[in-house]
Every structure is written in C-alpha cells, then in structure tokens.
Amino acid sequence: MGSVRAAAVAGLFYPDDQRELASNIARYVAAAPANPRVPKAIIAPHAGYIYSGAIAGRAYATLKQATNQIKHVVLLGPAHRVAFSGLALPETEAFETPLGKVPIDQRAVAMLADMPQVSRRDDAHSEEHSLEVHLPFLQAVLSDFVVTPLVVGRTSAEEVTYVLDRLWGGDETLIVISSDLSHYENYDTARRMDNATADAIESLRADDINPAQACGRIPVAGLLATARHRNMRVERIGLCNSGDTAGTKDRVVGYGAWSFHEPAEANDRELLDKNHKEIFRVARASIRYGLAKGKPPVVDVKSFTPDLQPKRATFITLKKNKALRGCIGTVTAHRPFVQDIVENAYAAAFRDHRFPPLQEEEAITISLSLLGKPEPMQFADEADFTTQLRPGIDGIILRDGDKSGLFLPQVWEDLPDPKAFLAHLKHKAGMAEDYWAQTLEAWRFTSTSTDTTKTEGL
C-alpha cells in the first residue's frame, strides 16, 4: 500500500488506544437495535465520541446485517479546516485509524476523474475530522471495504448529486453523509432548530435547511435531492444535543442520524436472501431436468411459496471457471417468478447461441439477477444520452429496428466509463460503435443480484 493519511484527531475526538476505541464503539453499537433492512445511505454526526458517539452508534447499528454485503463506502463531510471550491479527494491511497488502514477506492477515484467539481488535494483532508471520526465505526461493523472520502467545500447541492449519482452503485455501496446540527445555541433554542431540521430532512426539503442548522448542509442537501429523485424513504434514528450527553445546556451542539431506503424494489434484496436456497434449488433442478429430458420441467406455481408466485423478470447467468458459460433472461415481467427462473435457467444452459449446450460433466456456478421495470429514456442526442447514464445503477436496453442489446448493471464493473459502456452495448446490439440515429430507443432498469459469495454449483 502506498501513501497513508495518518489519523489526525485520534486522542482528541476519539480514543487513540486500539482496545479502548474498539470497546467504546462496540458499546455504542450494541446499545442500539439492529435494523432488518439495511439502508442505502445514512446521515450521522461527527463530533467527539463522548458527545455524539451514542447517536453515531445507533446509525451504524443499522448496518449489522450488512457486515459482508457492503464493500464500497462513499463518505462525504463538510470542510472545517481548509477553504476551497468543489469536492476534494485525497492523493493518498489509504486512511489510518488506531483500528488499522482503510484503502481508498481507486476505481471510484477514476470514475470521478472527469468531473470538474472534484479535485485531488491532501490539504483538505490532512486535519479534517468530519470524515475521520466515521472510519472507526465503519471498521468495526464492516468486514472488508474500501472508502471514497470526499471533503465538501464551497459548492452546490446539485454538484454533490452528480457525484452521488456517479458512485451510487448497488447493495454493495453505502453512502454516508457526515453532519452535526445547530451549533452553540442554548438547549431550548437548539431543540427547536434541530427539530425543524429533522422535519426538513424527513420531508426531503433541502431548501429549508440553512447554514446555521447543519454544518454539513451542502452534502445533506445533495443527498436529499438524490433521495427525492429516487423516491427514497427516510427514517429518523435519533436526535439529541450535547446537553443530553456530556455537555452543559447553555451552549450545545445538535446531533441527528437518519437512514435512507430505496423504494419497493429495494426489498428485492430481502426477497432474494429469504428465498435463496429455494431459488437455486429450482434453477439447478431445471438444468438437471434439461440434461435428462431435453426440455424444461413443467412448473406448478401454486406449490411454491407466495414470494415466488408474482410475475417478475430475471436473468440467469452461468459461469465455468469464472468465465461466462451462458446468460439468458427476461426484460419484462410476464410470468410467475418461479417459472421465469425455470425457463431462464434451462435457456442459459442450452439455448444461449454463443455457447454449445451444457454437458453433464461441466462444473458451473449459477447466479440470478432480479430486474426492475424498464423505464423509457428521453434524450436529444448521444451526448445527452451519455450524461444521463448512472454508472453502477442502470441496466440499459438499446434498440433500433431489429437490432437490440441489453447490459445488466453489473457490466459497469468492467466498463465504468459511460462512453465505453455505450460503445460496447452498441457492439452487442450489432451496431457500429459510432452509430447514432433519431430512431434509436433506450430503456433503463435496475436489478438486484445474488451475492457472488452465494453462487452455488450445479
């Protein structure tokens, strides 16, 4: 690992002793209930732990069920030490706390390289506490992750939303917004101000939050605008001030925490996790039946759990030695979930024209993607279309006449640049990479996929 940004506020905002720090965080997190539904984003405070640690612990307790799920953390907090414009990434390759080193997500850094509001500057990070104080909590609750740390300077909420959209990702990505609330008011005034801020956050009203109400107002406003656009649901985790924890009541600082959840299709993760064994039992059985009978089995839909009966669209992907061995799916939901699994598992094994039919002796793994409803896109030209693409989020269907192609959102892992993504999708659709026509149509969709640690062999 290359250059490392050393802890700047260990011993000041939180203990610099490894055991004491780990013990404190464990106590804060254990005191809060786990949330069965993992949030996509959280807002949490960044004061000294004796003041805001309990509230932060309640925020991070919502991640207890995602220890092995979350691999990428996008962390934004306000600049307190250095004045600058835009958002700043560090030049270093890792951050360090008494609990160890956290690697910087170099793939995310590359994805932001063309954004004019994002710069690389270590001075914005070297003494900044708004990001650092979150790292020990993340290290305590997540098993293995990389971080994209962004200090937010003089910029607009709109510029923040562009960055969030670029890095949004799927279930493997967590957004953390760091902010305290009112500063140095008396206890009663702070409570009134912080309750008004909480109401604005929970109603996604970014314009109703002024600089005196939250030091992280700009990154908070960026998240609220994104949440409104994505129809997210907000839940209050906790609200207090330093007068409730370890300070006097004459001059207090407010602290709050919130979780943000994506709409109904975000429940697809719970659906897949709950029915994981049955889904893959059905997929494997369909392929085995195909090997023996040369056709997919007949499905008695009503004999399966109600979770597998509604109409859903799926893609089944087969791999052999980590290389693609077949991938077939359904773009729109037109048959029961379990029947779609059966038909697509059989088709991926025996009807993908790119590969010969599967043989019994082949060792494969199976994964499933559950698709959301495709939404038509409106665009003026190729440049307009490209700017609308959301890396890590969008699956895209591209069509012109009898030529069409589809990429699942997972393709962004290999093609993070929107222009390259589109060029390869055109190629898949049988179009030239520089092809464009006014008759070109496109749809976007999201998908939830099985965790690669859960794929199972035939």
| pLDDT tens digit sequence for 7-16 | 999 999 999 9
Query: Do residues 223 and 41 make contact, with C-beta atoms less than 8 angstroms apart?
Result: yes
Topology adopted by domain 268-372:
Glycoprotein, Type 4 Pilin (3.30.700)
The band of 94, judged by pLDDT with boundaries at 50, 70 and 90, is very high
Sign of CA dihedral 304, 308, 309, 312: negative
Residue type, 308: L
Tell me what pLDDT residue 179 has: 98
> How far apart, in Å, are the Cα atoms of 217 and each of 53, 209, 213?
20, 7, 8
Tell me what pLDDT residue 269 has: 80
Rounded mean pLDDT, 368-377? 86
pLDDT at 97 over 70: yes
Percent of the chain surpassing pLDDT 90: 78
CA-to-CA distance for 310 and 301, rounded, in angstroms? 10
CA nearest 294: which of 282, 283, 306, 286?
A: 286
Determine the Cα angle at 28 with ends 51 and 41, to 5°.
90
Phi, psi of 242 (to 5 degrees): -65, -20
Rounded mean pLDDT, 90-94? 97
pLDDT digits (tens, 9 = 90+) for 288-333: 999 999 999 999 999 998 889 988 999 999 999 889 999 999 988 8
The band of 452, judged by pLDDT with boundaries at 50, 70 and 90, is very low
> How far apart, in Å, are the Cα atoms of 224 and each of 110, 204, 253, 258?
25, 5, 22, 11
Q: How far is CA 348 from the centre of its chain?
A: 28
User: Which neighbouring-strand residues pair with 146?
Assistant: 72
pLDDT at 45 over 90: yes
Spatial strand order of the sheet with 441-445 comes to: 375-376, 441-445, 395-400, 403-407
Q: How far is CA 457 from the centre of its chain?
A: 27
Rounded mean pLDDT, 265-279? 82
CA nearest 296: which of 241, 351, 259?
A: 351
Tell me what pLDDT residue 162 has: 94
Instruction: Decide the pairing of beta strands 447-449 and 365-371.
Output: antiparallel
Tell me what pLDDT residue 453 has: 46
295 conformational bin, left if phi > 0, alpha if psi -120 to 50, beta if neither: beta
Q: For residues 376, 382, 385 and 389, what is the CA-based torsion angle, rounded to 10 degrees?
A: 120
CA nearest 283: which of 351, 338, 328, 322?
A: 338
Q: For 132-168, what is the HEC assignment?
A: HCCHHHHHHHCCCCEEEEEEECECCHHHHHHHHHHHC
Count CB atoms within 10 A of the CB of residue 336.
Answer: 18
CA-to-CA distance for 38 and 173, rounded, in angstroms? 11
The CATH classification number of 375-447 equals 3.30.1490.150
Q: For 209-250, what is the HEC assignment?
A: CCCCCCCCHHHHHHHHHHHHHCCCEEEEEEEEEHHHHCCCCC
SS3 label, residue 185: strand
Rounded mean pLDDT, 252-269? 84
CA-to-CA distance for 401 and 439, rounded, in angstroms? 8
Determine the Cα angle at 370 with ends 365 and 376, to 5°.
135
What stretch(es) of the chain map to CATH 3.40.830.10? 4-262
What stretch(es) of the chain map to CATH 3.30.700.20? 268-372
CATH class of 4-262: alpha beta
Rounded mean pLDDT, 181-209? 96
CA-to-CA distance for 42 and 240, rounded, in angstroms? 16
CA-to-CA distance for 146 and 104, rounded, in angstroms? 6
- Least reliable range by pLDDT among 120-134, 265-279, 404-418: 265-279
Tell me what pLDDT residue 322 has: 85
Query: Do residues 197 and 207 make contact, with C-beta atoms less than 8 angstroms apart?
Result: no
What stretch(es) of the chain map to CATH 3.30.1490.150? 375-447
CA nearest 178: which of 376, 45, 336, 334?
A: 45
Tell me what pLDDT residue 270 has: 81
pLDDT at 423 over 60: yes
Tell me what pLDDT residue 455 has: 45
